[in-house]
Structure 1
Amino acid sequence: MKFLKLLTVFLLISFQGLAQPQGKDSTLVSRHRPGIFWYYTGWRPARPGKLRKYDRLIIDVTYNQLMNSGSIRSNPWRSFGCNINTMWDIPITNGNTVSFGIGLAYKYQKTGPKGLFFADSTNSFTSYYPDSSYTDYRKNTFGNHILALPIEFRFRSPKWQHVKVHIGGSIGYRLQTFQKVWPEHQHAIKDKSLPDRNPLVYGVHMRVGIRNWALFADYTLAPQFKSSKSEQISALAFGVSLSIF
């Protein structure tokens, strides 16, 4: 709930910057600051002619889906997650219409598959059983905590209210894989012991948007589990990105 309240505050403040100041030509450089810290330059004013840098703190709010060729069913509405990206924006062109982004990201992936994951009797691989096999629980979630290094090429139009496209990928480490189950009339049980969690994570992503808003998509190419006997799954996420500054 705290995260949702903070996100609501960010959205309300950012919407204040959607309108161009009255009477100003949209082709001129504006002193109006859209979003939080959009043109933040530190304790001192920016030097005249200094290139504007964008998309240095990005929050992605995502809906997540497990992808496989087997029996995993569609996820319910609660399959939401978020990414927090701190990035360096490195201009390549004079007007910063093309730049290179690199940074550090935390990813929280949460899904709600209609079934449960179990380790085999030798505790060496992970199998998936659909709801038809186990019905004595109210709901369940499955997810990951990930630390990653995102790298992307950024293309944007020259105007203040610019259109942007980010194309990139990331590589990182899966800090934790968890499964949480709510049995009938009991407290939730969290399991972090699935045996063959794949610690290596890599994937591709893309953002397309206007100024500090964008649509976001991310596909994890690395499989969730290492063993060839395990359920072969990966994650697809799509949602909305907000650039704080």
Structure 2
Amino acid sequence: MKHFLIFLLGFNFCVGFSQEQNTAKVVSSRYKEDQFYAAITYNVLHQVPDKLSQTGFSLGFHLGHIKDIPLNIRRNFAIGIGLGYSTNSFNQNLLINKEVDNSFNYAIVDEDDFSKNKFSNHFVELPVEFRWRTSTATDYNFWRIYAGLKLRYMFLNNTKYKGDLGSIKFSNISEFNKFQYGLTLSAGYNTWNFYTYYGLNPILKNAALSDGTAVNMTDIKLGLIFYIL
């Protein structure tokens, strides 16, 4: 967390410096915007079973490159297609444990019974955006609204539990849905922009509590996204 915040401060400085430097260059009528991004989000579990709740602070970190493809002469409408990486953690009270037959079971546990219980995941992401902005070839302080779809492939997941049952860790649990997707929206002015992701398919597949209740939770991400040319 500390290292990422330092990175964001340096990233913000580079944005301002880069924009000042660019104003001294010859203006091109074929300029492009916002080709690199970094974001930090608060992760929220949605559509959870009864009594499942989040504990602590669940964070996500996101980096990537987007190919900006302007659609008109003014270049304020564009399509963005990119490639990125994200890592996310979810602190909550859903214990994922292994049975003697190596299958996994899912149980909601009391928050007083553990000091840590979370699952984390790592994704390669493909964002596709429809972009509107008020920029010009010389104006680097502008409004933007970018809406789109993000396709995600989970290449790693893990769980960690510390509590009355001891220390429990697992990696690459097959019930985690490797292919996930959701809607995205980022909007704001200049460097600071609000960002949200709304997941459309479940984090877990074929997972259920002992009473048969399906664990079909999705995720919502809320945070800030920073852009640079």
Q: What TM bracket, shorter-length normalisation?
A: 0.7 to 0.9
Q: How big is the shift at 1:50?
A: 2.6
Deviation at 1:177, TM superposition (A): 1.8
TM-score w.r.t. the length of structure 2 is 0.82
1:208 to 2:192 alignment: no
Identity %: 25
Tell me if 1:78 matches 2:79.
Answer: no
When residues 71 and 119 of structure 1 are mapped into structure 2, their CA distance, relative to the original with a 3 A threshold, is farther
Aligned to 2:220: 236
Q: Distance in 1 between matches of 2:156 and 2:55?
A: 22
Stretches of structure 1 lacking an aligned partner (at least 5 in a row): 15-33
- CA RMSD, 1 decimal: 2.7
Shift of the 126–98 alpha-carbon distance from structure 1 to 2, 3 Å rule, reads: farther
Which has more strand, going by share of residues? 2
Q: 1-side partners of 2:45 and 2:146: how far apart? A: 24
| Residue aligning to 2:129 | 152
CA distance in 2, matches of 1:221, 1:163: 28
Cα-to-partner distance string for 1:51-87 (whole Å, 9 max, x where unaligned): 3321111111000011124135442442111111211
Any residues of structure 2 matched to 1:1-245 within 5 Å, and which?
A: 1-11=2-12, 13=13, 34-35=15-16, 37-38=18-19, 48-71=27-50, 73-119=52-98, 122-124=101-103, 126-131=105-110, 135=113, 137-158=114-135, 160=139, 161-183=141-163, 189-227=168-206, 229=208, 230-245=214-229
* Alignment-mate amino acid for residue 237 of structure 1: K
* Letter in structure 1 aligned against 2:221: A
Q: 1:139 to 1:125 in 2, by over 3 A?
A: closer
AA matched with 1:241: I
Evaluate the alpha carbon distance shift between residue 72 and residue 202 of structure 1 in structure 2; reply closer, same or farther with a 3 A threshold.
farther
Contact residue 71 and residue 130 of structure 1 kept, 8 A? no
Unaligned stretches of 5+ residues in structure 2:
209-213
Bigger helix fraction: 2
What secondary structure sits across from 2:4 in the alignment?
helix
Residues 173-200 of structure 1, C-alpha deviations (whole Å, 9 max, x = no match) = 111121122347x8x6532153422111
CA contact (8 A) 2:43 2:222 kept: yes
Which AA in structure 1 matches 2:43? Answer: N
CA, structure 1 residues 215+89, in 2 after alignment: closer, same or farther (shift >3 Å)? Answer: same
